[in-house]
Amino acid sequence: MPAIEPIEEVTGIDPGSLPEELLRSSRPRVLRGLVAQWPMVQAARASASAAIDYLKRFDHGGMPVVATIAPPEAAGRVFYNEDLSGFNFRREQVPLAVALDTLRKYLEATAPPSIYVASTTLDTFLPGFRDENKVDLGGRDPLASIWIGNRSRIAAHQDVPDNLACVVAGHRRVTLFPPEQLKNLYVGPLDHTPAGQAVSLVDFAAPDHVRFPRFAEALRHARGALLAPGDAVFIPSMWWHHMEGLDAFNVLVNYWWRQSPSWMDTPMNALMLAIMSVRDLPPAERAIWKDVFAHYVFDYDEAEDAGHIPASARRVLSPIDEARARHLRALLLQRLNR
C-alpha cells in the first residue's frame, strides 16, 4: 500500500485525567505512552511469557472464553471463506489458562495457527486487573474488554461507541478511515459477519485494485500508526479501523462508551428496519420516504416542525427520554410480531 498519513499524536497525557475535549472529539488521536506505567505493560516489556504469567494471576477459571482459531495459511486474517458462505476460522470454548498456555507454546513457531481471544469482558474474566491497570474516563462507565492473541489481521469495520484502545503487549498497526469512506471500502454483508460488524472485503496486505478500484480513493483519506506497548489510540464513533497484531503475543485493552444515554437503541437496528421496509419500495415511494426521514429525523427541528402541536401532545415528536424510548420499543415489538 502507498504511504499513509499518520494519525495525529499527543504525548504526556495522564491516564488518571484524560481531557474531556479528547473524549468527546470526532478526531482520532494516538496517545503515546498513555498506559506505559501499567504493571501489565511492564510485564509485557520484560517478555511475552511474563505477560502471560501476569494475566494468569487474575484468571479465576470460572468460565471458558471463546477462542477464534484459523489455520496457518490464513496468515492471521480472520475473515470469510472464498465465496463468503462461511468463514475461514472456527470458534472453541476453552479455559483462558488453556488459551494462554497454547499461545505460549507457539511463541517461537514460524507458522502457527491464528489464535484470537476477542472482546472478552475484563471484569468478568480477569477480576482485579483494572484495579492495578487504571485509566480514568471522566466518570464514564465504559465496557472494558481485552483482546489476546498471536499475529492477526482484523478487517476494517466500524463501531457505534467511541473507543479508547490501549496496546499492552506486542505491537499493533492501526489504519483508520473517516466514516464517509463507506462507499470506497467495499463492505461485505450486514447480516452475515465474522464478528458482529460488517467488514471491508479488501485484503489490506494485497489490495486487488481491479476488483476494488475505489479503494485507492479510500487510501487517500486513511490515517495510520504503529503502536508499541503503552501506547493508545482514540477511535471516534463510526471511524473505520483495520487492526493488525504484529507479534507472537499481543494484548489490547479497550474501553467503549457512547455519548448518548444507555437506553437509546443502536442506529444499526433502525438501518436494518429501513432496509426491510423502505429500500425496495418503488422509486417514487422511496423518494417520498427519503423526504419523510429528512423531516422527522435528519433535519428535525421541534419548534419549526412540531410547533403547531401543543407541547403536551407531541409525544415522540418531543425529545426522546427513557420513558418514551420504552414506549416506542414496546410499540415496535408489537408491530413486528404481528
Structural domain boundaries in the chain: 5-257, 267-336
**CA distance linking residue 100 with residue 236, whole number of Å:** 31
Quickly count: other Cβ atoms within 10 Å of residue 180's Cβ: 11
Which class does domain 5-257 fall in?
A: mainly beta
Find all residues with CB under 8 Å of 113, minimum gap 6, and list them: 69, 70, 71, 72, 106
**CA distance linking residue 144 with residue 119, whole number of Å:** 9
What string of DSSP letters covers 193-227? Answer: -SSSS-BB---TTS--TTT-TTHHHHHHT-EEEEE
Cβ atoms of 102 and 128 within 8 Å: the answer is no
Cβ atoms of 156 and 177 within 8 Å: the answer is yes
Q: What's the average pLDDT block by block, 10 residues per block, for the chain (338 residues)?
A: 90 94 96 98 98 96 94 96 97 97 97 96 96 94 97 97 98 98 98 96 97 98 98 98 98 96 90 96 98 97 96 94 92 89
Strands across the sheet containing 240-245: 5-6, 223-227, 172-177, 240-245, 152-157, 77-78
Strands across the sheet containing 29-32: 9-11, 29-32, 232-235, 162-169, 250-257, 143-149, 114-121, 65-70, 90-94
Please give the sequence-ordered ranges of beta strands (E in DSSP) within 59-151, or none if there are none.
65-70, 77-78, 90-94, 114-121, 143-149
